[in-house]
Structure 1
Amino acid sequence: MSDEKATTPTAQMETSGDGNMNDLTSLIQGVLQQTQDRFQHMSDQIIRRIDDMTQRIDDLEKNISDLLQSNQVDHPPAVNN
C-alpha cells in the first residue's frame, strides 16, 4: 500500500528534492506554453476564416446589387394608367 502512495505525484514531490520540483515546474510551464501556442494558432485560424467569410459576403452583396441594377435597366417597371 505504501508503494501506491509513493507513485502519486504528490508523494513523489514530498519524497524528492528541489530538483524534481524544478523539473515539475518546467514541465508545467512547457504544457502551458504548448496550450497557449495551440490556442493562438486556433484563434488565428478563426480570424482568417471570419475575414474570408466577410469577403465572400461582401462579394455576394455586390453581385446581388449588380443583378438588381441590371434587371431594372433591362426591364423597367410597368406603368399603370
Structure 2
Amino acid sequence: MAQSETKAARDLTEMMEKTMQNLQSKFQAMSDQIIVRIDEMGTRIDDLEKNVADLMTQAGMEGHQTTE
C-alpha cells in the first residue's frame, strides 16, 4: 500500500508540475501580447500627437493654446 501511495504522490506531483508549466507558458504569452499592444498604442498616440500638431500648424494655430 505504501508503494501505491508513493506512486500516486509522484504522479500527482508530475501532473501538478506540468499544469504549472502550462499555466506559466500561457501567462507569458498573454504578457507578451499585452506588451506588444501597449507598444502599438504608444506608437498610435505619438502619430496622433504629430497629426494634431501638423493640423494646428496648417490652421495657423502654431504656438496658440487655449487655457481652460
* Structure whose CA Rg is larger: 1
Matched residue pairs, number?
60
| Structure with more relative contact order (C-alpha pairs < 8 Å, separation 6 or more) | 2
Aligned to 1:36: 24
- TM-score normalized by structure 2? 0.79
Gaps of 5+ in 2: 62-68
Map 1:42-81; keep pairs closer than 5 Å: 42-72=30-60
Give every structure 1 segment of 4 or more consecutive aligned residues whose post-TM-superposition deviation is greater than 3 Å: none
Structure 1, residues 25-72: CA drift from partner, whole Å, max 9, x if none?
Answer: 000000000001000000100110010011000000000001101110
What is the distance in 1 between the residues matched to 2:27 and 2:34? 10
- TM-score normalized by structure 1? 0.67
**Equivalent pairs: percent with the same residue?**
47
What is the distance in 1 between the residues matched to 2:4 and 2:54? 74
Gaps of 5+ in 1: 1-13, 74-81
